[in-house]
Amino acid sequence: MNRSILFGVGSYFRSRTPESWPDPMRDAVSGAGAALFKTATLHPVDTLKCRWQLGQPKDQMGGLYQGFVPAALRSSVGMAIWLASRNAFERALASPEDDPTARPWRHFASGAASSCLTDLCTFPLDTVKKWMQAAPATAGATGSQTALSAAREMIASGGIGRLYFGYTPRLLIVAVNGACFNSIYVATKKVLGPILGDGS
C-alpha cells in the first residue's frame, strides 16, 4: 500500500505539474506531494506497529498521530530526494547508444545510490518520529512534546550521533532494498507499460 500510494499518487501529481518545469523539479514536487499524502493516510498504522513492537498495553493506544511532523517531513523530503536523484542517476548512467541492454546494472546502482543518499539525509527525522511514537499517548495529546523538543532531548543525551543510533546495519539494508526495488520496478514497468498503455 505504501509504494502503491507513492507511485500512483506521484504519477498523478507529476501529470499536473507544468511541463515547462525541469524534470528534477517535477520529480521532486510530485514525489513530495505523494509522500505527504501517504504519511497522512498511513501514519496511525505505523504508530500502532511501533507500540505493539514495544509491547505497550492496549490502553495506551491513543494519540495515533504522535510523531506525524517528523514523519511527514522525512517522507516528503525523502521521496523528493529519492525520485529526483534516482531519475538523475538513471539518466547519467544510461548508455550513449540508448541501448537498454548495454548497462543492465544501472537500475540496481541507481536504486542503491538514491536510497542511501535519501536515508542519510532523513534518518534523524525517523529517529525522532519513533521516539515520539513510543512516548506515552498523553504526551501527544497534551502537546507537551514537539519534534524539536524530542530532538533536543535526544541530542542532549548523546550528541548529534544519537540521531543516527542503529544506522550502520541499516545502511546496507537500505542499499540492497533500494537496488532490488528499483530493478524490479523498472522490469515490471517494461512488462506492464504496453498493457496499461503508458508507452513505457
pLDDT above 90 for 116: yes
pLDDT above 50 for 140: no
> In three state form, how does the secondary structure of the chain look?
CHHHHHHHHHHHHHHHCCCCCCHHHHHHHHHHHHHHHHHHHHHHHHHHHHHHHCCCCHHHCCCCCCCHHHHHHHHHHHHHHHHHHHHHHHHHHCCCCCCCCCCCCHHHHHHHHHHHHHHHHHHHHHHHHHHHHHCCHHHHHHCCCCHHHHHHHHHHHHCHHHHHCCHHHHHHHHHHHHHHHHHHHHHHHHHHHHHHCCCC
Residue 141's pLDDT band (cuts 50, 70, 90): very low
Going from the N-terminus, what domains does the chain have, and what CATH number goes with each?
2-196 (1.50.40.10)
Q: What is the pLDDT of residue 130?
A: 87
For the chain, the C-alpha Rg in angstroms (whole number) is 19
